[in-house]
Structure 1
């Protein structure tokens, strides 16, 4: 059985390493951050992902999974090297920063003295794989070192399932040998009937960003309809329900609300636009600028709705924000709509208290000027308005009477259309939501 290494142990890398060990492989993960490696080696996951801590600890205990900071060690150990480093948005630009990909290849390649396959999983601008393959060929001593590209499609909150039983596998290869190696690595998934798409480098790179661009467009479409509904008195939730019955459209990602955030969708569509400009086909993706703009407008509209409920000003008013993570079942606050709204209300003079079941530590680091509560009821104490901004089950199940006993005024703005308006209005709450009368 092939021995695997995973370069980069952030969200993608730590998940991939633990899950490939779960599938029976010997796996060695590497990172340039010693503190992160120490935590992982001790079975301490540095982020929240349901089910992953158990997988991590189980495979540390059985010896199939280890971590290191030594490139020499992984070069000697591995037959297949997965590159799982981050590609963040460049400061002040739309383009993706691929310097971590380049750095990992530059560190690994000179140490590769025998046959092996390097596999990119990071989300990169189209054309990166071809350039990385040339870099690998130039720097690796062995002529039997080859590159493949195998994009990831992880959903935060479902990453273990998405790795062990993905909805599809995509591999970009230049040889039958590289294809056969990856068929061996993913033999379990293929035997379970997971579809495999074998393609070239460019197509494999485009699959991930195209999927994210489509999903972002679908989310922003229904939120654009929410803007129209607000102007006409229509109900966007009923509109979405009716559209979902059309098989050509479907209901997934058609939930109206505060919009998308996180470390992938926003930066990926912006990087896609930037790369299209470099290729001279920027007009092909010009619609993504409006997709991005609609998404940001939802945050502004959320602030406006809350301010109107308070008579036109946040000054001297207490605001409870339920949610900090960009989505439930995650502690990720990168580009979080919830935190953006909370921070803007704070800038406008509101006394803001935030609660989130998992993301409080990250939220405190990102927005230290905000107040934070240890429970929904604590955060709501004395509030003049409550904003539900991340649709955790805990918030969707809140009793309006119990919450009402804590607040100063029974005003609520449902940023995710997650509550039942009739239930809250019956309990004496003034209920508002994006795209609803």
Structure 2
């Protein structure tokens, strides 16, 4: 008999996972505790922008004409418990307020709500990013509180989704990692992921602690690589070097590689910053804090980039105060192909300049609604051209394709001054200069 899947939490991770499980042929029941979110999803609408997700959702949601009807949504824990053979827990683990540590309250609440309804043998699969050691505790909780007792097993299966590529990353993962304690749990997860395994996705079987450490280790490595090239950008600024050429040269070394070596205003979003901070906090609790002290400097380099972009803008405008200066900001999201503005370096820079008296106007292809909610006092425009109209300087802060394809000559017609600062080292300097612009990028003082 075919496995039945439940997904608990329908945010970015959960909504994507639920739609992907339906696409792989399973009957899926997804739960959330927010009624408005459930109503949206039942209409085939997603509460965030993610390329391809809404189309995939509408292909499978029950009640939509022409759908497979494999995917339904509920707020009833008893229905979830009775329905599922495999329960995926996909709830958020934000940074705890005022601390570096991870807030486990949503995960703990999900397990507390689910456990009493597990009357039959079932596998509960954690996908949330949690502090190492959490799975041991949660497995014991399930065994004690589920009516099925030890028949309610736990596995840990970290997610590796990249915003903007989440659908493809779920259906065609570059690796699958499962922390299990029994052959039964491994067998069930091999059945769930049979299609990607058949395509060649590596299937790595580990213990609980290793599975929990994979996501935070991967994010820490990426954060280190990004902050390394940004530190080199600081040195290039001081020495008169060109960080883009430096990155190209070291990127040819296959031990290093080219990816994540574009210097700029740093990383943000809902994962990397909070994950490396939670990792440091957990290492401290385990008595291994010295092993991760380098992450504190990684975090510091990353946050420093934002202030350096503000100073670069100030110097480009003559070195005085921002009062009365008109600043156009292209980009509000923390990365392209997303509407996510959580801990966005672009919005942080825009906000700092605004607080120092600059007249800031922001444009982003997908992040305007969320940006307005977070920074209501900034100015917003409906297009890049409108944002740039009358601007003394243009800041390129999120590397959307739309911005790379702008016509610098047309923008020059509406700008007060043809001055562009590339905070992502992603624009073509020769194109902009040919259109009469002064082009400046971080870590490239003479380029």
Question: TM (normalized to structure 2)?
Answer: 0.97
Shift of 1:186: 0.6
Give, in whole Å, the separation in 1 of the partners of 2:40 and 2:422: 38
In structure 2, stretches of 5+ residues that fail to align are 62-66
Query: Number of residue pairs matched?
Result: 437
Instruction: For residue 405 of structure 1, give the secondary structure of its aligned residue in structure 2.
Output: helix
What's the CA shift string for 1:117-142, capped at 9, x where partnerless?
00000000000000111111111011
> Once superposed, what is the RMSD of the aligned Cα atoms?
0.6
Is 1:297 the counterpart of 2:308 in the alignment? no
Partner of residue 243 from structure 1, selected from 250, 257, 261? 250
Partner of residue 119 from structure 2, selected from 96, 113, 116? 113
Partner of residue 389 from structure 2, selected from 369, 381, 384? 381
Shift of 1:195: 0.4
Partner of residue 153 from structure 1, selected from 151, 160, 172? 160
The residue aligned with 2:436 is: 428
The residue aligned with 2:128 is: 122
Is 1:306 the counterpart of 2:313 in the alignment? yes
The residue aligned with 2:64 is: none
1:197-276 matches, within 5 Å, as: 197-276=204-283
Instruction: For residue 286 of structure 1, give the secondary structure of its aligned residue in structure 2.
Output: helix
Instruction: For residue 94 of structure 1, give the secondary structure of its aligned residue in structure 2.
Output: coil
Is 1:323 the counterpart of 2:331 in the alignment? yes
Instruction: For residue 334 of structure 2, give the secondary structure of its aligned residue in structure 1.
Output: coil
Is 1:188 the counterpart of 2:195 in the alignment? yes
What's the CA shift string for 1:277-335, capped at 9, x where partnerless?
11111110000011011101111110001111111221001100000000000000000
Give, in whole Å, the separation in 2 of the partners of 1:234 and 1:196: 43
The residue aligned with 1:45 is: 46
Give, in whole Å, the separation in 2 of the partners of 1:194 and 1:156: 20
Partner of residue 285 from structure 2, selected from 256, 278, 281? 278
Partner of residue 346 from structure 2, selected from 338, 342, 346? 338
Instruction: For residue 414 of structure 2, give the secondary structure of its aligned residue in structure 1.
Output: coil
The residue aligned with 1:54 is: 55
The residue aligned with 1:78 is: 84
Shift of 1:422: 2.3
Give, in whole Å, the separation in 2 of the partners of 1:402 and 1:117: 58
Question: TM (normalized to structure 1)?
Answer: 0.99
In structure 1, stretches of 5+ residues that fail to align are none
The residue aligned with 1:409 is: 417
